[in-house]
Structure 1
Amino acid sequence: MSPSVAPPLLPPLRRLLGQPGLQLRLLTAEADLPAGALDQPVDWVHSSDLPDPTPFLSASQMLLTTGRQFTSDTTTDAFYTGYVERLADLGIACLGFGTEVVRDGTPDPLVAACLARGIPLVEVPYGTPFIAVARAAGDLVAELRFARDTWTLAAQRAISLAALRPDGLSATLSELSRQLGHWVALFDPSGALDRVFPRDAFTGASSSRGSLDRAQHEAGRMLRRGQRASLTVDDGDETLNLQTLGRRDQLRGVLALGGRVPLDPAGQEVVTSVIALAGLALEQNTALGRARGHLRSGLLHALLGGQVGLARTISAELWGAFPVEPVRVAVTDPSPERLDALTEFLELRVEERGGNLFYARMGGSVVLCLDSGAGPLLDDLVGFGLHVGVSDPAEYRSLPRALAQARQALDRAHEGEPAIVAFDLISRQGVLAFLARTDASEVGRAALAPLSDHDAAHGTSLMATLRVWLEQNGQFGPAAEVLGVHRHTVRARIGQAEQLLGRDLGTFHARADIWAALLATGDIPD
């Protein structure tokens, strides 16, 4: 990568000291100063002869003094040391001493104190007014500001031109990476890595994916919150910048950048323009996706109507072959604000799975046709916080029946936390168990009310006796053993229950009806 790096925001001290005409002389040798001491930025030049000028200074400034505060007979090495300590603690970039105004030369104790704290000390000759130093610093700041504005415009122009290429989004992100000297990654609505630039950023034995993995982790958290957000993360040697794309509750992904040098305001401005372009591109893709979604819905209705051949032909031209029969049908019903995000996620999975998945919207639901290896994909749907119902394996000609099974399984899934419920679970529990879960609970309570009311009024246990008796296939002896009473007691209680219910429990129909009522009221676990 050959980045077009933005000019610095402020001039480095080294450049100010090297300005022709100022004749500034460094008294503290660079070799004796901390590394990079002459490369720190200078944002202003201030002059003061106060013994403690720090209340009027800020970090990264250059202080000029004529040394008037050092002429007293009481000035000691400790005074020089304290003076420099205060400046160093504040973080000034440099101290300049103007000679031949108050005294000739720079005091040796001042030089020693500056060396001890690593502060560059320069001598300003009598012929160089302090205002000339300040003006030179101001000119450098203005020059750099103009250069930065020029760079920003050039970078935005290059990125705008890249957006006009056939694959505008990829070209835009690639150009952003080149301009900033950072790697750039785009994560899709599910948090999966969509693309990264430069393409070889994380290849080779010496490359580490640690920063990219950290960015993906943070991107996933931002997407799950479903709100627009930005985040800056210090990841050891690199600084990561992440920004969501899209509107709240309709996030299209996350743009992430990483580099050893944090983004400055000029770089942030370029990134902001790219976020706008990327957001527009993804919105356009979403609009196209909606049109494709309408076509998918039409194909699903064709399948349900028995026009399997027509649906296969159209799908093969647009997305590839349908999943191989037998297929399972899965149904989920996301909230309206999550519907677009889910369909975008599924569209990406269609591209990845190559004919192993077909999906379409049907009203507020999403219907999927899946092959036998779709378990991980269904787990991803639960990760979206969705309830999922899945049918038994079926041929396409039996798709309406499979869809009905999936919807029944979805109804069962909604009884608990987001999860996958397969129809074969319902079929194993039996027809009565399913019927009892519809709207039969009130009917069941009404049918059993004579027993429950009698038990409550007289302290009897007719309901419990009836349940155990039915569980023991209407046999008095085994029921008596479970209840710990004599079989004649069980027989008497069942007879009393028959009188209260007005039913002959010796018939299969009556027993089945009471069993269903017990299931409906929850008195018998599944």
Structure 2
Amino acid sequence: MAVPVSWVLSQPDLAVRLKGGAAGVGREIDLVVTSELESPFRWLSGGELLLTTGMRLPATGSARLEYLRGLDECGVAAVGFGTGLTHAEVPADLAEAADAIGIPLFEVPLPTPFAAIVERVTARLAQLQHDALLRASRAQPRMTRALVKAGAQAIVRELAVSLGAKVLMLDSAGAVTECHPGVPDDNLLPTVRAALAADPAASVSSVHTDTSGMSITHQRISVGRSSYGDLVVVSPAPLGAVDQILLGHANSLLALDFEKPARLQAAQHLLNSTALGLLLGTDADLTPAWAQLAQAADAQGRIRVLVAECDATRAVAGVRITLEAALVRAGLPLFMHVLERRVLVVLPAAKGTALAGRLATEIDAATRKLVRLGLSGAHPPHDLTAMLANAELAASAAERGGPPAEFTELAGRSLLSFDATRQVLNAMADTMLTPLVDYDRTHGTDLLSSLRAFLESNGQWESAAAVTGAHRHTLRKRIATAQSVLGCDLDNARVRAELLLALLARGS
């Protein structure tokens, strides 16, 4: 950061007056120093505002010209000449020499102490530095978000806006792939390529072109031995330290975008190949899929399956969105499968119970009333099919809107937990429910779902109607039709119990 000489001249309370070298008032001051040495040149490094009372000013005009020329060659930005002590006014020949060289020379009147100028310029430099750091702190997260949302084009645009400069991205062959604002003109592009060719191996380089008056700063976009091109900034003046930090941040983001992890590419290739094999109906090798699923396991290599059984199609989307967002927010890999009204997710076994309970509470209340949740026990990933069946059984026994039912709590206490019992119930379901299934298929009705809602609600018409979304009078008519088709008495508790077991075994 630097303060223009013109800014110092514009401060009314300092009361300084320009005496010569008006052509150089755009020069920038990095530091204020005081010196009464005849030859201070060896202690100057450039960018200084030199304050002096002329105590040892050369006596002749030619010597004074050489004195100012020496300061100019050292890069001194300007000279402040204090009057009222050694000299009553700024010597006329010194002002003429300043005009000839183009180095600003201004008078500092006796009432204005040098310390006031030092303090004012130092405070301004600190303010500019703070503003630059604040600008950088705001620009860096914008660039990061831009990369995530829109890629390299957005990064180039954000960097150009932050620096107030033109930014180009060239590929390894020198072709412009991105540019903001606008496109490079015919004169600029050859200059940029010449700057890159001058030092092609450099990771960062900055040059000032005398012909155009522009500064060109470029960084090589590379990771290890791989090079992806160059990021170039064309600005009216050389970039400051903070601006170079922004350039480096943008370069790092672009490098990350180019150099995607090899394991991600390999996983994507395996996923694509497996999907293609499934689509073609060939015997695809599922080994990569099992390896992928293993990422969801806990430290002991176990998983749990959470199943959400939805009574209405409209509830499926809400459940899916909620579960997906919650798992991503928890930093867990997302393994989800949706089939009709069933949503399945895989959880790490160690966190499964607590996590499933928390997920249930995040489903909005209206949707939760239409959802039953079941959680399997903890097993290795290869037991996925068995865990799915267990989770479905647990869901069938869960309360709508309630917490997830765990299969391990049902084992030994539920008829549906035993394969032999399920075979009997399946046979009973085929015998008892086939007439109703045939009726629904022929007439386009859904009496089976209405019957299950009625039975699971213990014959409570209001509760069953809420589940099906039908008016209670409409539901009464459906149940009467179902009773007629089945040829049974639904007022009989034993009949209702057998029908409910048949429906649970069938999974309707």
TM-score range, shorter chain: 0.3 to 0.5
TM-score (norm 1): 0.46
